[in-house]
Structure 1
Amino acid sequence: MGGGGEGGEGMEVDNLSRGAVAAMSRQLGAEALRPVLQLLDAPRPLLAVSPPAARRYRLALSDGADLQLGVLAAPLNHLVTAGALRRGTVVRVLEYFSGVIQNQR
C-alpha cells in the first residue's frame, strides 16, 4: 500500500469494506476506493538492516474476507514508530497504487 491512512479511532471491525481487496486487485494504478481495512499483523520492515529513515514497512491488510499485502508509503513511517499501526488496527486507506510485480498483483 503506497498510500495514506487514517487511524482506527472510532472505526470497528464490523465496518470493514468487504470486497474491497478483490476490487483493488482487479485494478491497476492509483485508485480512490477509500476502503476500511484491518491490519492482520504488526507492520514489518522489508529489510531489517535499512536505516530507520529509509525503512519501508510491509502490511498485511484484510477487508474481513480477503487479504492484501502492501507496502506503507515512507512518509507514513511515523505511524509505525509511534505505535499507531499495530496488529488489529482498523484504517481507512485514502490512497493506494496497485501494480504487477513478478506477474502477480
Structure 2
Amino acid sequence: MDDQDLVSVFSVNTLPEAEIIRGMLQSAGIACQIGGETQAGLAGVFAIDILTHASDSKKASKLLKEAQKAKKRRKKKRIAARKAKAQEAGSEAIQELKPDTKIKKKKS
C-alpha cells in the first residue's frame, strides 16, 4: 500500500479491535492497514488508526457506520429480550425489590 494517499477512517484502542475492522474492510474488498500496529504494548494509551486509500475512505466509513448501527440494534434486542425474560412469571432472572418490601429473617 502506498503510504502517500492513506487516510484514517476509524480509530480504536486495542489491536484485536483493529484486526477485526481490518478483516471486515478487506472482506468487502477495501485495501487497508493498521496504523500504529507496533505500539500494541501501549494499548489504550494511543489510538490505533485504520487506514485506507483516500479513494476508498467514503466506502469504508459508510461500511463502518452501518456496522456500528447494526451493533446498536443487536444490543437493543438483547436488552429487550432480557427485560421480557425478567418480567415472565416464574423467571429465574434477578428481580429488584420495591423500596418498601419488608424482609423477614429466618429464626435459627
After TM superposition, the score normalised by the length of structure 1 is 0.23
Between structures 1 and 2, the one with greater strand share: 1
Pick 1 or 2: higher relative contact order, CA cutoff 8 A, min separation 6: 1
Quick check: which has more Rg, 1 or 2? 2
After TM superposition, the score normalised by the length of structure 2 is 0.22
